[in-house]
């Protein structure tokens, strides 16, 4: 999500997928004095796709079957069952956008900034194609989106979807319209953001058009999500995180959101172990703040494919 702070001093980029995770932060509760805490995520009543300590709805069900070409009577560039990502850098043919403040004043966004940050968002999309060439798109922290698929006589395939998210941060509407021919995709991506009155940010409207080559990924390249997220406060006042391993994961990406300071999750570190201790001054200073700290953990596979599903570990306050 591309926004500019309402004070106009700088641009802020919101990774849409991670800002979606922020919607589902665990509620603050008392009794944090115990040394160790189980941080299973909220049940369906809070977020329908979050269950049993992991974002289970975002975990792909990758196929291990070989790629099956479709029949000549129904040409397709999908060749399902398969999975693929968008290869970066994207080849942009256009990139435009602007922010709008409460008075209606419009400020154009820098094209290079748009390209950089939209690339960061789209490179994490995972397209999962089943044997009937139905497509679901997985993005970090969000429920999978079923795409509309249209096969064309020239062998190309249109893949389109629309995603809408409403939260305390505001509302986001995304449309993705693309055509896949052989291994090349041409796409138009449009994102609209309207902040809530609780967020010190401007509304934004961004549109990009690009081409890229898709990158096919095998089932064993997609790790499963980690699980059993827990935390423990250290003697130094920091936060020791731990989780169970995701199958086929070789490293884990750790993100952090300090609610009283950050507007979105910030990438923190990549670790090989199934634990990480945050003894940074920021953690020590904010672990007992009114809103606490929230961490998000994602599995990364042997070919650097990150499963869009993840776990959230929320550190409540006393």
Q: Which of 247, 234, 235 is nearest to 299 (CA)?
A: 247
pLDDT the model gives residue 257? 87
pLDDT the model gives residue 1? 57
Q: What is the 3-state secondary structure (H, E, C) of the chain?
A: CEEEECCCCCEEECCHHHHHHHHCCCCCCCCCCCCEEECCCCCCCCCCCCECCECHHHCCCCCCCCCCCCCCCCCCCCCCCEEEEECCCCEEEEEEEEEECCCCCEEECCHHHHHHHHHHHHCCCEEEECCCCCEEEECCCCCCEECEEEECCCCCEEEEEEEEEEECCEEEEEEEEEEEECCEEEEEEEEEEEECCCCCECEEEEEEEEEEEEEECCHHHCCCCCEEEEEEECCCCCEEEEEECCCCCCEEEEEEEECCCCCCCEEEEEECCCEEEECCHHHHHHCCCCCCEEEEEEEECCCCCEEEEEEEEEECCC
Q: Give the C-alpha separation, 276 to 271, whole Å.
A: 7
| C-alpha 188, offset from chain centre | 19
Which domains does the chain possess?
25-60+220-315 (2.60.40.10), 82-219 (2.40.160)
The whole-number mean pLDDT for each consecutive block of 10 residues of the chain, a chain of 318 residues, reads 45 38 28 36 24 32 32 57 92 96 92 92 88 87 86 94 83 95 96 83 93 90 91 94 94 88 81 96 88 90 84 79
**Residue 280 near residue 269, CB atoms below 8 Å:** no
**Residue 140 near residue 59, CB atoms below 8 Å:** no
- Look-up of token digits 């008075």: 103
Does this model's pTM top 0.75? no
Other C-beta atoms lying within 10 Å of the C-beta of residue 1: 27
Vertex 193, ends 118 and 296: CA angle to 5°?
65
CA-derived radius of gyration, the chain: 20
Other C-beta atoms lying within 10 Å of the C-beta of residue 274: 17
pLDDT the model gives residue 263? 63
Q: How many residues does the chain have?
A: 318
**Residue 288 near residue 318, CB atoms below 8 Å:** yes
pLDDT the model gives residue 141? 62
Q: Give the C-alpha separation, 225 to 308, whole Å.
A: 8
pLDDT the model gives residue 10? 35
Q: Give the C-alpha separation, 17 to 141, whole Å.
A: 6
């Amino acid at each position: 999500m591309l926004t500019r702070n309402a004070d106009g001093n700088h641009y802020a980029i919101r990774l849409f997928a991670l800002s979606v995770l922020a919607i589902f932060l665990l509620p603050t509760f008392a009794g944090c004095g115990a040394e160790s805490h189980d941080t299973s995520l909220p049940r369906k009543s809070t977020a329908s796709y979050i269950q049993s300590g992991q974002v289970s709805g975002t975990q792909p069900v990758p196929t291990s079957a070989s790629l099956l070409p479709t029949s000549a009577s129904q040409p397709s560039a999908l060749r399902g069952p398969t999975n693929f990502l968008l290869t970066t850098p994207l080849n942009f043919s256009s990139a435009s956008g602007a922010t709008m403040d409460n008075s209606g004043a419009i400020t154009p966004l820098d094209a290079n900034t748009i390209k950089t940050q939209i690339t960061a968002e789209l490179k994490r999309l995972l397209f999962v194609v089943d044997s009937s060439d139905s497509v679901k798109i997985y993005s970090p922290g969000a429920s999978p989106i079923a795409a509309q698929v249209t096969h064309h006589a020239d062998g190309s395939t249109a893949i389109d979807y629309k995603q809408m998210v409403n939260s305390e941060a505001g509302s986001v509407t995304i449309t993705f319209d693309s055509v896949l021919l052989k291994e090349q995709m041409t796409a138009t991506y449009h994102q609209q953001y309207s902040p809530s009155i609780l967020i010190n940010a401007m509304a934004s409207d961004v549109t990009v058009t690009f081409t890229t080559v898709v990158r096919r990924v095998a089932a064993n390249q997609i790790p499963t999500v980690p699980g059993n997220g827990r935390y423990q406060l250290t003697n130094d006042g920091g936060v020791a995180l731990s989780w169970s391993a995701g199958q086929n994961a070789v490293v884990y990406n750790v993100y952090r959101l300090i609610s009283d300071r950050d507007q979105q999750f910030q990438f923190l570190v990549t670790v090989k172990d199934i634990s990480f201790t945050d003894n940074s001054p920021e953690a020590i200073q904010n672990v007992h703040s009114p809103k606490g700290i929230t961490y998000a953990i994602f599995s990364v596979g042997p070919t650097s494919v990150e499963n869009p599903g993840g776990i959230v570990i929320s550190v409540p306050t006393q």
